[in-house]
Amino acid sequence: MSVDIRKRIFDFIVENFLFGDTEHDLTPESSLIENDVIDSTGVLELVAFIEEDFEISVDDTDIVPDNLDSVATIEAFIKRKQVDAQSAA
42, 70 contact by CB (below 8 A): no
Torsion angle in degrees (nearest 10) through CA of 6, 37, 74, 21: -10
pTM of the model: 0.91
pLDDT tens for the chain, 89 residues long, are: 466 999 999 999 999 999 888 777 889 999 999 999 999 999 999 999 999 999 999 999 999 999 999 999 999 999 999 998 888 87
Q: Which domains does the chain have, with CATH numbers?
A: 2-20+33-88 (1.10.1200.10)
